[in-house]
């Protein structure tokens, strides 16, 4: 938008509904995206052109139909996005201009002195801070003369922004204003203290807005001071850039183990494993903190970050299921599902990623719940069967009608996980 304003003249706002992306998304993700598009269309005075099809085909047709002199996009650093944009660029008769990125520092810019990418977060974060970032861009839509998106001869047919698919998830408000309102309400001063407590409203809830481009991370960074909470939050934004950088250098790691040694580890993938996986997806494992997290995902299209780590560890190391099963489930349901952060977050827990947690670190779901949800508030909020179980007892509930018994014995499964790791280390 800012690049278009700087060039002067008229601009056409275009969004392509790409079946390669929408087809793999669940109802909550699509609903939130469509709501963000409606908000953007409103900001543009109803002048957002939405079309459906393969971008390689439809973007050149739009360019020819309106006589555009250039095409501006925010650079996409994911594996599919890179290939798609390169193909679009080859198909165009005008320049494809990649302007900025959805990260504070674009992937590939922060490298070691010898030009090699960082594989460990801490030195990356130091170099990231030293590199710095530009000030937030001016994204006032009123500064651009937006073209009428009415159908043009030879161009693809304009489509209505789809209605929200059916979903029972209660999603956050969508769009740029909602992003800024949410940020204004966030108490960053207590972030370091409260961010690991899922029963406390201690996180920013900005991840959906970052994912869908409703706000830029540089906007958040510009507001941060130097308190402990601000420094901790800045560090989380650095993690986001780090994982994007890792995926940029290793696009294969979106679907495969970053550490290929883990290709040899034994997984359970039979019918019984699928049944246990399905119980995990439903939040019916008999481990309250795990079930609360999985039910929060279904109820809100979001899950607290600490709980994401707990449920991931349980799936990979207690149920011995491949990490990519869980990553795929998350990407279907999370409104903030970002490919780089999601896949490498899962690989961090599985031990197969870069700068990953040691595989022998197996989270005990009961003690994790007692430590980070000591009053049981989070569990009781999302597992109504345990609503009458007081305090910390919610993490070791007595037999309760309607609540399942544990589907596995954690102590036994931990031993199996360590045995399997021992065979590949």
Q: Could you tell me the two tokens for 143? A: 């500064």
Residue 275: count of CB within 10 angstroms of its CB: 11
Q: What is the pLDDT of residue 356?
A: 77
Q: Is 95 helix (H, G, I), strand (E, B) or coil?
A: strand
Cα dist. 110→116, 123, 130, 422 in Å? 9, 10, 9, 35
Q: What is the pLDDT of residue 359?
A: 76
51: which strand partners?
16
Q: By the 8 A CB rule, do 147 and 10 touch? A: yes
Residues annotated as binding site?
191, 203-207, 233, 236-243, 336-338
Cα dist. 169→26, 165, 299, 383 in Å? 11, 11, 4, 16
Q: Indicate left, alpha or beta for 93 from its phi (over 0: left) and psi (-120 to 50: alpha).
A: alpha
Q: What is the pLDDT of residue 45?
A: 92
Burial of 308 (0-12, 13-18, 19+ CB in 10 A): buried
Q: How many CA atoms lie within 13 A of 409 on its CB side?
A: 4
Q: Map tokens 């490498």 to a residue.
A: 344
Q: Could you tell me the two tokens for 286? A: 């008999």
Query: Which run of H or E residues covers position 98?
Result: strand 95-98
Q: What is the pLDDT of residue 64?
A: 94
Domains of the chain: residue spans and CATH: 1-100 (3.40.50.620), 102-138+176-249 (1.25.40.80), 260-423 (1.10.579.10)
- Measured in Å, how far apart are the chain's first and last C-alpha atoms? 50
For residue 14, which of 45, 41, 54, 42 has the smallest C-alpha distance?
A: 41
Residues annotated as binding site for FAD?
191, 203-207, 233, 236-243, 336-338
Give strand ranges (E) for 249-329.
none
Q: Could you tell me the two tokens for 127? A: 């170099």
169/237 Cα distance (integer angstroms) = 26
Q: What is the pLDDT of residue 397?
A: 86
Q: Tens of pLDDT along the chain (425 residues)?
A: 556 556 667 899 999 999 999 988 999 999 999 999 999 999 999 999 999 999 999 999 999 999 999 999 999 999 999 999 999 999 999 999 998 889 999 999 999 999 999 999 999 999 999 999 999 987 677 778 899 887 677 788 899 999 999 999 999 999 999 999 999 999 999 999 999 999 999 999 999 999 999 999 999 999 999 999 999 999 999 999 999 999 999 999 999 999 999 999 999 999 999 999 999 999 999 999 999 999 999 999 999 999 999 999 999 999 999 999 999 999 999 999 999 999 999 999 999 999 877 878 899 999 999 999 999 999 999 999 999 999 999 999 888 889 999 999 999 999 999 999 999 98
210/207 Cα distance (integer angstroms) = 5
Q: Could you tell me the two tokens for 180? A: 């800024």
Q: What is the pLDDT of residue 98?
A: 92
What crossing angle do the helices spanning 339-350 and 228-249 adopt, rounded to 10°? 90
Cα dist. 282→2, 5, 299, 376 in Å? 44, 48, 11, 20
296/282 Cα distance (integer angstroms) = 10
- pTM, full prediction: 0.95
For residue 229, which of 176, 178, 190 has the smallest C-alpha distance?
A: 190
């Amino acid at each position: 938008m800012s690049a278009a304003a700087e060039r002067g003249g008229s601009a056409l706002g275009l969004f392509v509904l790409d079946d390669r992306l929408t087809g793999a998304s669940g109802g909550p993700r699509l609903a939130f995206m469509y709501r963000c598009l409606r908000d953007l269309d409103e900001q543009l005075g109803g002048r957002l052109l939405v079309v459906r099809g393969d971008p390689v085909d439809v973007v050149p047709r739009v360019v020819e139909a309106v006589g555009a002199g250039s095409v501006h996009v925010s650079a996409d650093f994911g594996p599919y996005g890179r290939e798609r944009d390169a193909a679009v660029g080859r198909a165009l008769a005008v320049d494809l201009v990649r302007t900025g990125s959805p990260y504070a520092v674009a992937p590939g810019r922060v490298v070691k002195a010898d030009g090699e990418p960082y594989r460990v977060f801490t030195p990356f974060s130091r170099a990231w801070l030293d590199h710095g970032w530009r000030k937030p861009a001016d994204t006032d839509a009123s500064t651009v003369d937006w073209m009428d998106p009415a159908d043009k001869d030879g161009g693809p047919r304009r489509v209505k922004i789809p209605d929200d698919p059916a979903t029972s998830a209660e999603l956050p408000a969508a769009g740029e204003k909602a992003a800024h309102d949410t940020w204004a309400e966030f108490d960053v001063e207590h972030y370091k203290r409260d961010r690991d407590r899922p029963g406390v409203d201690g996180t920013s809830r900005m991840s959906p807005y970052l994912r869908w481009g409703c706000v830029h991370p540089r906007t958040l960074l510009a507001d941060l001071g130097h308190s402990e909470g601000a420094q901790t939050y800045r560090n989380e934004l650095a993690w986001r850039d780090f994982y994007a950088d890792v995926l940029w250098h290793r696009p294969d790691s979106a679907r495969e183990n970053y550490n290929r040694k883990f290709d040899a580890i034994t997984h359970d993938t039979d019918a019984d494993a699928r049944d246990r996986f399905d119980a995990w997806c439903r939040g019916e494992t008999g481990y309250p903190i795990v079930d609360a997290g999985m039910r929060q995902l279904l109820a809100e299209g979001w899950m607290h970050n600490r709980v994401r780590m707990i449920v991931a560890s349980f799936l990979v190391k207690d149920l011995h299921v491949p990490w990519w099963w869980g990553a795929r489930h998350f990407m279907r349901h999370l409104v903030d599902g970002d490919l780089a952060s999601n896949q490498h977050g899962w690989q961090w827990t599985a031990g197969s990623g870069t700068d990953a947690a040691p595989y022998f670190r197996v989270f005990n779901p009961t003690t994790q719940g007692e430590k980070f949800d000591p009053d049981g508030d989070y569990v009781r909020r999302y597992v109504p069967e345990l609503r009458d179980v007081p305090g910390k007892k919610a993490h070791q509930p007595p037999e309760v009608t309607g609540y399942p018994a544990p589907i596995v014995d954690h102590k036994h499964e931990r031993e199996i996980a360590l045995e399997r790791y021992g065979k590949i280390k």
